[in-house]
Each structure stands twice: as C-alpha cells, then as structure tokens.
Amino acid sequence: MTDGTLLDHISRLPHGKATFKQLVKELGAKGELRAELEPALDRLTETGELVELRSGHFVLTANSREFSVGRLSKHRDGYGFLVADKPMQGVVGDIYIPTASAEAAMHGDRVLVRVSRIEATGRADGEIVSVLKRANATVVGEFRVVKRGNFLVPHDERLRDWIEIPEGMEIPPRPAETDRVGIAHLRIEKPEDLDGFIVNVEILNFPGNGESGAGRVIEILGRPGDFGIDVEIVIRKHHLPHRFPSEALAQAAGIPAALSASDVKGRRDFRGMDVVTIDGETARDFDDAVWVDRAPNANYLLHVHIADVSHYVLPGTPVDLEARLRGTSVYFPDRAIPMLPLELSTDICSLRPQVDRLVFSALMEFDHQGDLVAREFTRGVIRSVERMTYTNVHKLLEGDAEQRERYRPLLSRFELMREFAMVLNRKRVRRGSIDFDLPEPLIEFNEWGEMTGVTRSPRNIAHRIIEEFMLAANEAVAAHLEAAGPSIYRIHEQPDPKRVMEFEEIASHFGYSLGIGAIPVRKFSYADKRRDGQRQRKDIVVAEPSLRISPRHYQKLIAQIEGKPEERILSQQMLRSLKQAKYADDNVGHFALAAKSYTHFTSPIRRYPDLIVHRLLGGAGPPAAELGPIAGSCSQSERAAAEAERELVAWKKIKFMEGRLGDEFDALATGVTKYGVFVELEDLFIEGLIPIDTLPGDRYTFRESLRKIVGSHTRTEFSIGDKLRVRLDRVDEEERKLQFAVAKQERPRTSSKGNRGKQAKPW
C-alpha cells in the first residue's frame, strides 16, 4: 500500500477523518497489508499530512479547517507566523503564532499548527502542535564565556535562545582541520581561549518551551573582524553545503579530461561550425554555445549547444547525490560555491574554446515572425572557435574598428544573431511577455577583497542576444517534454490579487494604473487591541481571489513609465506584486514570460533541474513520482541561495558605509510606513530608513489611506517617489540597518486637494 493510496482513501471520507480500525476494515488490511498500514500512518503523521488527534484517530490536514502545516517564520521579538504549504480556506495571509507557542520551535522549522481563530477579515491565529522537521541542525554564532557556563549566541537574531555548550564539547578534536580563515596557528586549548570567536555548533538538544538547547562546537571560524568571516557565517547560517564529500571528489578526479572515441561515438559532429560562447569577463564555467544561420528558405536556424553534464554525472553516483543536495551553485560577490566539483564545472564540462566538448543540442528553425517551425534535440560534440565576452560582442556590433577587425570571420554571424534576437524579442512582446530592465548593482572590490563601491552592472545587446536564445531553447524543450510525458517545469503563477491591489494604490499616486478596472474586494471593520490594552476600530480591504490579470497589463505599464523619473520605483513595486518563479512537475505556465510551457535546460553545470531535464530528453529521467520532490527541493535550494547572496551583499554594503557617517547623498523614497521613510541612495543602490520621529519641522503621522507621512501643522508630505537629500546618521552592523536623516529642506510641500503626486518634490 502506497502513502498516496492511503491519503486518497481518507480524503474521500467525511471530513477527511478515519480511525485505525475503520481503515483496517475498509481497506481489507489483513496480514502483510495490515503490517504495512501502521508504518504508513506513522510516516504520514511525521510529515504532517495526517494528524493523530487521539490514539488511533487520524485527520487529513490538507482538507482541514483546523490544522495547517508549513514553515515557522519567527520575529526577533519572539512571536512568529506560519507560512503554510497550502492555503487554508477562509484564511488571508500567514497564520499568527503568539510568543508563548512560538517558543516550542526555532525559526525555519517545519511545524504542524492548530488554528484557534479565524477572524471575519481572514486573519488567523494558531498554536504549534508539533515540530515535524528541524531547520537548524547546526547554528553559527559567537562563543561566550559567562559565569553560568559557555554558550553560543546565534548570529541569526530570530534564533533567540542561547545554546549551552557543555563541558568537554567546546573545542573540536582537530581544530586545524576545521579552520576556514587562517586560524590554524592559534593555540586554542581551553574554552576561555574561544571567548569571542565565531564558531559553528551542532545542536544536540533543541531549545523550546523554556528549556535552553545544548550543542557541541564542530568548527572554529575565526574572530568577528577577520577577513572573509562574513562569507563563512552566511554559508553556515543558510546551511549551504560547501564541502564536497571525498567520494565525490574522487569520482570527479577520476574522469579523463580528454575525450575518447567511445565518448564521441554516435554523436552529431558540430566541430566544423563556427560555434561561440558569449559570457561575462569573469566567467569560469561556460554552459552554452550558440550558432545562427539562414536556411535555404530564408528562415532562421538556431543551434543552442549545452554542456552535456549528464554524460559524466550519472544518477545515484556520489557527484550526482551531492549535486542534488546543493541544487544550485551559489554566487557571492567575491567567491562561488559550485554545484559540481571544479574538475567538472570549470574544465571537463565547460565549453572552453578550441577544445572538443560534449553537448546536448537544441536545433531549431524559426520563421520571420519568430515562430518555431521545427525542432530537434540531439547529443553532439563541438569545438568552440571563440570565447567571446558581452563587452567585445557589443563593441563589435556598435562598429568598434579594432573588434571588427579582430573577429572579421565572425562579423556577419554576429550581425545575424542581433537581427534574429530582435525578431524573437518582438515575438515575446506581441504575446505579452514582461521585460523588466532594472539596473543591477555591481559591487567593486580592491586587491585586499574590501568593498570600494557599487556601480551599475552593464547590460547591452550581447546580453539580449544570449537571453533570447536561451529563452527560445528552454521553451522548445519544455513543449517537447510536455508532449512526451512527465517533466519538471519552471513555473510562474498568477499574482496574488491582494498584492496587485496594493500596487494599484501605489501606481495611482503617480497617475498610473495597470488598467485592470475595478478590483473586486471585501471590506471589513474590526476592533484591534493596541499595546496599551485599549481597542480601536480598523478597516481592512481584502481583494477577492476571482481577479484575473494578464502579463499584458504589466507590459503596457512598463512601456508607459519607460524613461520617466518614477520608472525605477514603480518597476521595483511591480516586481514585488508578482509571485516568485519555482520548479514544479505540474505545468501551470509562466506568467511573466506569457509562456504556456517553460523549463530550464541551458545551465546544467550550475542548476540541478537542468540536469534532470537533460536526462528526461535522453530518455533516462527519474520516475514520475520523483519529479515533484526533486522540483520542491530545488526550489528550496534556490531560495536559500538567493537569501544568502542578498544577505552577504547587504552586509558588505553596511561595512562599506561604516566609514561614511555624516556624509550626504541623493536618495529616492522607496516606501513610507508608520516607522518612517525608506530610501535608496541613487548612486550606490544602498537602502536605509529615515525614522518618522527624526523628520524635521513638525510632528508627523502616517496616513495609511493616502500612503503618505503628513506633518500635523505644516501639512508637509513625504511619499513614495520623493527625491531627498539625506545624511547618514547611524550604522547598525548587528541588525544590518542604516539610519538616515533629511539633510536639507528647501521648500516644504503641503498636501492639496486632488494632488496626484506628480508635481516637483520639495527636498
């Protein structure tokens, strides 16, 4: 009996409830089948798919109005929210977990929650019933020696409990082996020597319900100010696998670098074609190579050759198991954690120039409207003729004499690439694909690895060429696999109506709209308890889930704001109104790309889903039942990597700003709340807060209905989009926050009837 069969049976019962005796009778569970039933119920209870209310009485959580399963997100003040796996009927947003109940688990834990109250507004409260899966097997932080003993103070402020380090568990057996940042020369012989050091601790007893946890030190990382310590902390805080097992390293080292006759046998030979790679100047691994030509009927021929990682990394091998665990490569500003060992990622699999390399190729033909008219997928072998960079391709296409002379044999090929890329782009625009072109920050470092500034990352026609070709290949593969059977897709779901409504309010401040008409809403009024114990009436508006929005609505608004002063702020707010893309075995399409089918095929060196797609294309993919779990774990790995990358960048920005206290900057107001005005420095892509109680010349209050901060006497306003001159007043490295103050007040702007926020700003 499979777990799925058992869940399916219980789901058909009244209220999704059943007793053990009832299941034995209805399923005819006798002998071996009955012996399988008990372990199956135990497994489903451990995962939270079933709840055992009392001995032998089970209820299905998926259809329950009482229980919910998900991830606990804790606030540093102790309370938390359940981010549910599946939405619960009647509940809007996350489920609030009060401090007393949230103490039972740690931030990030997967928990089962009993919902105790659902208000008319859809807000819900709950209590933790059980911890299903711990998120923090290890915790990184500062080792402290105090009178009560030795403790770890977690680096993550949401892990509020100090972890006790019992006697004899303070120093790893061989600390030199765990050294990460050059501390092997230090003699650490007793716990007092570790006071103030950053260490990584394995949890032996988890804290909860008033009990402090206990653990043992497994790594000594260094002192708080040591070079590179920030990267080491972030890696461990987000539990990123960063050391390859010896078995994986041995497997990679044993793979021959040169191709043999058997490697090439049966493959299409593309070595006589002028295939090229186009990447950034600092790229070390080259996943993709491209070639474009005209067909005899004047159609466009596009070859996208992708590193054939699946030839070297077979299912179930040490390298494959580690790649699945990692899910993705992680890219920090000054280093990377690759998904594959370096022998594979930067050499054997990488499509280096003038070297024979194995590829999985998408061979496509498009007409002059950009419609795909033929496709073929085959294993092949290539020899890249040039390792091109975005910069050189851009210069060549812009008429740079030196570059055009240097790459004269390839000049017509690149010009055809540009022509065809724009054909593909126009096709995407016609169908409604959203194209956000926000400037990306590029952090600069000196020779000692210290951050020296932030600049705008360059983006040119060469980036567009590769982007369009990779999108075309991914879509072609997705359509092929969808017709062939089960697969993994890259999906992007419809946006949440509530987020869309919030964006519409912001856009209206600037005189814009998505043009979706009236949003169906429900309005509520309720009493909210304040911190002083008094109750006050509040109104809440909830968008109905029936709202359907097209990517064309976003596309048209992007076109309207292009080149306008408010483009940057509105583009960022639009992005926040959209859901995050993820991997899934159920294809629901890709909203932002306006694509019915989309997947990831083009980066198997750095993304595990791409490797699975290659195996599916080659007819050796995993069973259909495994695709969902693989997609889910890869989505989680992607989120963890993105969060780690963002945190480290934010940390480096904070360190960079420590030496700039008192300096003034031009800034843009990116948000207003009851706490104050959030600003982004225009030249540095750095964010911070102007607290509301520091705003000059008046006493200010936040008007939620207007989304503005307004002075009580002068009626001076602060709102999203205001340009301000600010001064850096405070740097809080512990909380990674910057505090600014308004540096100069030229002429206060006062509120006026009918103001739509488009007049000149006063700051």
CATH number, position 698: 2.40.50.140
Tokens of 558: 């992007």
Tell me, yes or no, whether 383 and 280 share the same domain.
yes
**What is the count of structural domains for the chain?**
6
Domain boundary among 77, 103, 133: 133
512: number of Cβ within 10 Å: 19
130: number of Cβ within 10 Å: 17
Q: Is the pLDDT of residue 529 over 80?
A: no
Tell me, yes or no, whether 446 and 350 share the same domain.
yes
Is residue 600 situated within a structural domain? Answer: no
Tell me, yes or no, whether 32 and 76 share the same domain.
no
Give the amino acid at 83.
V
Tokens of 601: 């095929």
**Residue 328 phi, psi dihedral angles, 5° rounding:** -165, 155
Secondary structure, 3-state, 510-538: CCCCCCCCCCCEEEEEEEEECCCCCEEEE
- The whole-number pLDDT of residue 286 equals 95
Residues 6+ apart with CB under 8 A from 395: 402, 403
Q: Is the pLDDT of residue 333 over 90?
A: no
* 4-13, 128-137, 276-285, 638-647, range with the lowest pLDDT: 4-13
Q: Is the pLDDT of residue 69 over 80?
A: yes
Query: C-alpha distances in angstroms, 431 versus 64, 193, 581?
Result: 40, 64, 19
Q: Is the pLDDT of residue 175 over 50?
A: no
Q: Is the pLDDT of residue 450 over 90?
A: no
Beta bridge partners of 18: 58
* 149-163, 271-285, 382-396, 509-523, range with the lowest pLDDT: 509-523
**Whole-number mean pLDDT of the chain?**
88
Is residue 28 situated within a structural domain? Answer: yes
- Using the Cα atoms of residue 449, residue 452, residue 455 and residue 460 in order, give the sign of their dihedral: negative
Helix (H) or strand (E) holding 650: helix 624-657
Helix (H, G, I), strand (E, B) or coil at 21: helix
Query: Which of 267-293 are b and which e, b meaning 16 or more Cβ less than 10 Å from the residue's Cβ?
Result: beebeebebbbbbeeeeebbbbbbbbe
Tell me, yes or no, whether 341 and 414 share the same domain.
yes
Tell me, yes or no, whether 641 and 722 share the same domain.
no
Tokens of 268: 């299409």
Tell me, yes or no, whether 198 and 174 share the same domain.
yes
Tell me, yes or no, whether 288 and 335 share the same domain.
yes
Query: C-alpha distances in angstroms, 266 versus 42, 263, 364?
Result: 49, 9, 20
- The whole-number pLDDT of residue 6 equals 82
Tell me, yes or no, whether 53 and 73 share the same domain.
no
Q: Is the pLDDT of residue 622 over 50?
A: yes
Query: Highest mean pLDDT: which of 110-119, 203-212, 271-280, 560-569?
Result: 271-280
Is residue 351 situated within a structural domain? Answer: yes
Query: Highest mean pLDDT: which of 140-144, 177-181, 446-450?
Result: 140-144
Give the residue from 137, 336, 142, 332 showing the smallest Cα distance to 222: 142
- The whole-number pLDDT of residue 1 equals 55
Tell me, yes or no, whether 262 and 390 share the same domain.
yes
Is residue 762 situated within a structural domain? Answer: no
DSSP 16: G
- The whole-number pLDDT of residue 22 equals 83
- The whole-number pLDDT of residue 763 equals 31
Reported as a pLDDT band with limits 50, 70 and 90, residue 174 is low
| Rounded (5°) CA angle 19-22-24 | 110
Q: Are 694 and 712 in contact (CB under 8 A)?
A: no
- Count the residues in the chain: 763
Tell me, yes or no, whether 371 and 448 share the same domain.
yes
CA dihedral 586, 590, 591, 594 (to 10 degrees): -130
Residue range 680-707, pLDDT digits in tens? 998 888 999 999 999 998 999 999 878 8
Query: C-alpha distances in angstroms, 505 versus 352, 493, 496, 578, 707?
Result: 50, 22, 15, 15, 8
- The whole-number pLDDT of residue 522 equals 58
**Residue 611 phi, psi dihedral angles, 5° rounding:** -65, -40
With a pLDDT cut of 70, the percent of the chain lying above it is 91
- In CATH, what number is assigned to the domain containing residue 189? 2.40.50.700
Tell me, yes or no, whether 115 and 145 share the same domain.
no
Domain boundary among 588, 618, 647: 647
Reported as a pLDDT band with limits 50, 70 and 90, residue 21 is confident
Tell me, yes or no, whether 503 and 553 share the same domain.
yes
What range defines the domain where residue 8 resides? 3-60
pTM of the model: 0.87
Tokens of 258: 């040169």
- The whole-number pLDDT of residue 746 equals 47
Is residue 479 situated within a structural domain? Answer: no
Is residue 761 situated within a structural domain? Answer: no
